[in-house]
Amino acid sequence: MQAHCIMTWIERQQHAVIEGSLMVRRIFVMLILLVITGASLQAQQGEALELPADLYVLTNDGIVQRYGVGASGVLNLSPEGAYVLDMGVDDRGERLAYRTQDGLFVRSLTDLNAPPVQIEGATASIPPYRGRGKTIAFSPVNGAVPGTAIAYTTENAVRLYFEPALGGTPIFQTITEQGMYTDLSWSPGGRYLAAETDGGIWWIYRRDPGSVTLTSVVTSSVGTAWASDAEIIFAPTEGGLKIMNLDLANQQTDLLPTTFEYRLPVLDADDNLLVFGRAFDDANTPAGYGLLLRLARGATQLETLGRTPIELTGLRWVPGGTLMIAFQAGVLAVFDPASGYGFALPIENAVAYDWGPYIPPELRPVYVAPEVTGEASESPVDAPPVLTTPTPAPVGTAVGMPLPAAGFFLARDGFDVAQVWTLPRSGSPPEVLTYADFDVTDFTPSPDGSRVVYVSDGQLWLQEVDSFIPESLTTLRSLAPANASFSPDGTRIAYTDEGAGIGLITLGVENVAGFEIGRVLANTDPAPGTTDAAISYRVPQFAPDGTKLLVDVYININPDDPTAAQNAVGVFDLTTSQLFATNGVTLPDMRPLNTRWMIDGRILTHSDAFVSGVIAPGFYIYDYVGEGGVPSLAAALPENRLVRTYREISAGIVRALLANATDPAQPLDVMEFDLNTGASRIIGQIEPTIGSPRFSPDGRFIGGYRLEAGAIDSGALAIIEVVTGRITLINPVAGLAAQVWGFRFGDSVR
């Protein structure tokens, strides 16, 4: 009986493929043209695919294959004799779940000699569709809820498996709403599950121990994206782009106006929101097409990345948000979302696919094609080796390291909650500073390191380092970073409250609880019936003397035209309550967004190869902030360099860490710039695998994390000596996870 059901289901799937092929015929007509013109990627033996993550493909023969990035090659993963119906990979690429007619199984991808483990028998059922989304979804490995959960679609429901405690019994749950489920997506921390049914309806479930509970329904959305563990972005078909906070009674906030229709939102590897947009009254762009747009986290102004509108039917995002993939009639094709150009992958007879975790370009294995030498009778000549990576710097380990200032970073504690930790300047081991119940997402230490202000669960908190009890300062209005800044004496805190403006908190002298909250800069919306611009303020920074705030000013001139948005530099005088601002400029001039105070009270910014050809790369100084104020070039950057981080280590002397703009695998240059004379010099090089780098106050050290293979945005805590390039990895202590992120020294800015 089960075999008969499987055959009936396969026939239904083949019929769905025929119907679906009519929907995306235009895409595959283009693919045929690409193949005819030779534009498709031909896979010869041993050749590698240029993809940002391992690609897992299920063929019509019931075989699962992994196409590894770079030089990893192709590997068959199906157990011998098993006919696989569908499959899914966990978020670390360490486990494969798959279904056969005998049930649901999980196989280790780190130990292929280990036998598969059967999770459920024939009651695991079969998926209603394949290739339209994830039909098997693991909860995140390091999720907020302990234990693995696996969600999988069945013929008319979603079934869930909950991993039992040691010696316990597995728990299964079946949830049924309306229609057949096509796609499953866990939130980043695994507290919520989004499940799509026919018609673009999304059902959101909250995960509790051993069960899930329906908490919200999105009645229409062309794609969704998780902004945090409790915030989901969706694109209603009636227009606009919204974000819903599931922890705040499903509170919804408009991200983009309803005069545009938006499709397929995603967060890229740099945490920017990408989405396709089209004005409803745009007669030149057909329905179903869109232009690629970008919205940086916390920003309200869109950037236009697309060069031409592209047809969106049948497209899905690839991990990292750099490419899109189309799948139909057994063919997989990759597309550039900005231009719409693409090529067919050398994979035939596919029925479903899934992705492993995103791998940054600098960590992908490099494929080197074999050289064709002379006649076979000729003796080979040994050539000197060509080094494609720099000689590794010496690496050591230590429990701590004496530093000119304490370091601060984020890492998970023994309860799997992200907390603020410190690396003491004395050289003692790392210590935890916060004891938040929910993940800390943003933090700033006070100048003397005695206090830390942080964001957790949508609130701004303050904690003394010698106390276990935090003080709640205020509730924030959105997921955007607070970007808090302490005054030089540590008695005041300025912060961004997205959607409202800049807030200022004055702390009590005797008691932290005796604080006052005020709004020093309020965002403004245009009066009805006027053409005034909407103005918002972000990223406050106290001046060295504590009398002024440097702020980013965003000017939204025309909500219907994102390209008209402008950025300006603002200085708010806390004594007189006056704001002075430069004239607004449009992108790609990013200098107003890169500002920071100099020691002498002037304002420093930079432009690099990211906008090369538009603004001359270099460090710029604003001597005057006000109408007509423009920055002047103080020191030029070398050609083709990106600024990873920099710091003014003495008056007018800046140390900067520069990356190769076209080859991120090249070593990073540590350069020193004299802004008084324009002179510069290289003082060292370090390996390119350092994440979240920050200079120490004297410029002798760089702190951050060391990326390792498979990691994306965290790694081992690392301190690098600038002159020698020596790397010291700090050993984890009890309760500290090995992976850290968000490193900064105590008085770091941007």
User: What is the tens place of the pLDDT at every residue in 547-559?
Assistant: 999 999 999 877 6
Q: Tell whether the model's pLDDT for residue 284 goes beyond 90.
A: no
Q: Is there a single domain that holds both residue 409 and residue 324?
A: no
Does residue 370 sit within a domain? no
pLDDT for position 748: 53
CATH number, position 491: 2.130.10.10
Does residue 389 sit within a domain? no
pLDDT for position 382: 31
Using the 3D structure, point to which of 336, 359, 382 is the last residue of a domain.
359
- Which among 12, 371, 81, 441 has a CA at the least distance from the CA of 229? 441
Q: Is there a single domain that holds both residue 143 and residue 67?
A: yes
User: Do 499 and 478 touch, CB atoms closer than 8 A?
Assistant: yes
Q: Is there a single domain that holds both residue 571 and residue 479?
A: yes
Q: Is there a single domain that holds both residue 127 and residue 81?
A: yes
pLDDT for position 16: 42
Q: Is there a single domain that holds both residue 333 and residue 235?
A: yes
User: What is the tens place of the pLDDT at every residue in 504-529?
Assistant: 999 874 434 445 677 789 998 877 76
Q: How far apart are the first and last CA of the chain?
A: 64
Does residue 248 sit within a domain? yes
User: Cα-flanking dihedrals φ and ψ of residue 682, to 5°?
Assistant: -85, 130
Distance CA 503, CA 653 (A): 32
User: What is the tens place of the pLDDT at every residue in 461-501?
Assistant: 999 888 888 999 999 988 778 999 999 989 999 999 988 89
- Identity of the residue numbered 294: R
Distance CA 192, CA 212 (A): 8
Q: Is there a single domain that holds both residue 333 and residue 410?
A: no
Q: Is there a single domain that holds both residue 346 and residue 414?
A: no
The total number of residues written for the chain in this structure: 750
pLDDT for position 31: 41
- Identity of the residue numbered 197: T
User: Do 747 and 487 touch, CB atoms closer than 8 A?
Assistant: no
Does residue 383 sit within a domain? no
Does residue 304 sit within a domain? yes
pLDDT for position 369: 41
Does residue 378 sit within a domain? no
Q: Is there a single domain that holds both residue 294 and residue 236?
A: yes
pLDDT: which is higher, 737 or 205 = 205
Which structure tokens are listed for 748?
């770091």
Q: Tell whether the model's pLDDT for residue 597 goes beyond 70.
A: yes
Which of 263-272, 562-571, 705-714 has the highest average model confidence (pLDDT)? 263-272
Q: Is there a single domain that holds both residue 413 and residue 304?
A: no
User: What is the tens place of the pLDDT at every residue in 75-114?
Assistant: 899 888 899 999 999 998 899 999 999 999 999 998 888 9
Give the mean model confidence (pLDDT) for residues 145-162.
Answer: 91
pLDDT: which is higher, 725 or 37 = 725
Q: Is there a single domain that holds both residue 337 and residue 407?
A: no
Helix axes 25-36, 2-23, angle to 10 degrees: 80
SS3 annotation, 246-288 = CCCCCEEEEEECCCEEEEEEEECCCCCEEEEEEECCCCCCCCC
Instruction: Classify each residue of 66-87 as buried b or exposed e, where b means 16 or more C-beta atoms within 10 Å of its C-beta.
Output: bbbbbebebeebbeeebebbbb
pLDDT: which is higher, 357 or 18 = 357
DSSP state, residue 402: B
Domains identified in the chain, total number = 2
Does residue 118 sit within a domain? yes
- Which among 408, 443, 446 has a CA at the least distance from the CA of 424? 408
pLDDT: which is higher, 664 or 272 = 272
Secondary structure class of 304 (helix, strand, coil): strand
Residue range(s) defining the domain that contains residue 98: 2-359
Does residue 326 sit within a domain? yes
Q: Tell whether the model's pLDDT for residue 684 goes beyond 60.
A: yes
Using the 3D structure, point to which of 315, 337, 359 is the last residue of a domain.
359
Q: Is there a single domain that holds both residue 339 and residue 421?
A: no
Distance CA 409, CA 418 (A): 10
Percent of the chain with pLDDT over 90: 50
Q: Is there a single domain that holds both residue 199 and residue 312?
A: yes
Percent of the chain with pLDDT over 70: 84
CA count, 13 A, side-chain hemisphere, 274: 22
Where in 69-227 does DSSP place strands (E)? 73-76, 86-89, 95-100, 103-108, 117-120, 136-138, 149-153, 158-162, 171-175, 181-186, 192-197, 201-208, 211-218, 224-226
- Which among 355, 344, 388 has a CA at the least distance from the CA of 69? 355
Using the 3D structure, point to which of 309, 342, 359 is the last residue of a domain.
359
Burial environment of residue 738 by CB neighbours within 10 A (0 to 12, 13 to 18, 19 or more) = middle
Q: Full-prediction pTM beyond 0.75? A: no
pLDDT for position 168: 78
- Identity of the residue numbered 135: T
Secondary structure class of 614 (helix, strand, coil): coil
Give, for 607, the enclosing helix (H) or strand (E).
strand 603-607
Distance CA 110, CA 274 (A): 33
